[in-house]
Amino acid sequence: MTLDFEKEKLIRELKKRKPKRVLVQLAEGIKKYAPEISGWIESLGIEVIFSGETCWGGCSIAVQEAEALGVDLIVHFGHAQFIESKFPVLYIEVKDFLDLKPLLNKSLKELNKFKTIGLSFSVQHQHDLKNIINFYEKHGKKVILSKKLGHVAYEGHIVGCQYSGLKAIQEQVGAFVIIGNQFHSMGACLAVEKPIVLIDVYNDKIRSMKGIREKILKQRAFSIEKLREAKNVGIIVEIKPGQRFGSPKILLEKFRSAGKNAVVITMNEITPEKLMNFYNIDAFVELACPRIALDDFAKYSKPILTYKEAMIALGEKTWKEALKTGFV
């Protein structure tokens, strides 16, 4: 195993905070480590319960579960802090000590035309930053980290709904290198127009994202058109504290003034099955994670859009503006 669960930090923090009962949230890829982590926490005489709900980002803080279970602390593994929460949360970011050199070497072929590269990475590689920069500098590249803007925790850190940090440096770089997975690089494609090289760590591959932006933009334009034509519209809000992208009240008013029947629907997690029963709704706008609309649209039988896309359909924003500022 190349993962480091920051056991020392965990124990130190638990001894300091002295909770009697904790709720542990594990990012999706690390849920299998629950038995091991349970042992560490229980050895301190603390009762531990694992959340079986999905945990895709630092935005998913299980406050409702925690309150229902009467725990004193949430321990959230695998993401950096995303928002300030009134409920006490201990973030354990988890480091990956995988040797990235073979993949960095392979990436050079895709980068040979570019002297200056913009670099972004998912949080488990943050500890390796010096080595990554040294590697590229030794190969004659200048490295500029994406800016720490919005919900990201560090310079260079990337999350799937926040690309302002990449946009801020795009004029200075020839291409972007993203160390993470396709989720991160797909979002980046929509946000910036420079070539993107993905170091796909867990598939052990280098991917060029050429042509993906155009393909996604066509899908988005189609969904926006469908929302324009829709008579009945569902506005979906999730109850996760970090997933509130846009105001349901404003949207409701705007859709109604545009002559549409609009309703607000709440969900803990959006799934195609849950939407199926609202079969007379022609299109949905989701104000939860914007990536549900952008990445999962093929799973849904009705168009599903982000807040910004709804604003384009309503004529409040132009397509050109969205291309500039992004769709998330």
The residues that touch ligand SF4, with contacts defined as CB under 6 A, are 56-59, 82, 159-161, 242-243, 289, 291
Least distance between ligand SF4 and beta carbon 123 (Å) = 11
Q: Please state, in angstroms and rounded to a whole number, the distance separating the CA atoms of residues 302 and 298.
A: 9
Q: Please state, in angstroms and rounded to a whole number, the distance separating the CA atoms of residues 225 and 106.
A: 41
Please, which residue, 60 or 223, has the CB nearer to ligand SF4?
A: 60
Least distance between ligand SF4 and beta carbon 83 (Å) = 10
Least distance between ligand SF4 and beta carbon 244 (Å) = 9
Least distance between ligand SF4 and beta carbon 254 (Å) = 23
Least distance between ligand SF4 and beta carbon 58 (Å) = 6
Token pair for residue 182? 């396709």
Please, which residue, 19 or 57, has the CB nearer to ligand SF4?
A: 57
CA-nearest of 59, 26, 248, 25 to 150 is 59
Please, which residue, 77 or 136, has the CB nearer to ligand SF4?
A: 77
Find tokens 């409701």 and name the residue: 252
Q: How many CB atoms lie within 10 A of CB 32?
A: 8
Least distance between ligand SF4 and beta carbon 291 (Å) = 5
Least distance between ligand SF4 and beta carbon 56 (Å) = 4
Stretch (H or E) spanning 197: strand 196-200
Please, which residue, 159 or 198, has the CB nearer to ligand SF4?
A: 159
Please, which residue, 17 or 244, has the CB nearer to ligand SF4?
A: 244
CA-nearest of 165, 91, 105, 100 to 128 is 100
Please, which residue, 56 or 135, has the CB nearer to ligand SF4?
A: 56
Please, which residue, 60 or 107, has the CB nearer to ligand SF4?
A: 60
Stretch (H or E) spanning 42: helix 34-42
Answer positive or negative: Cα dihedral of 38, 43, 46, 47: positive
Interacting residues of 271 by C-beta distance below 8 A, sequence separation 6+: none
The residues that bridge with 120 in the sheet, in sequence order, are: 178
Least distance between ligand SF4 and beta carbon 55 (Å) = 9
Answer positive or negative: Cα dihedral of 244, 272, 52, 31: negative
Residue 186 near residue 209 (C-beta atoms within 8 A): yes
Estimate the share of the chain in helix, then strand, then coil, as percent rounded to the nearest 5: 40, 20, 35
Please, which residue, 230 or 289, has the CB nearer to ligand SF4?
A: 289
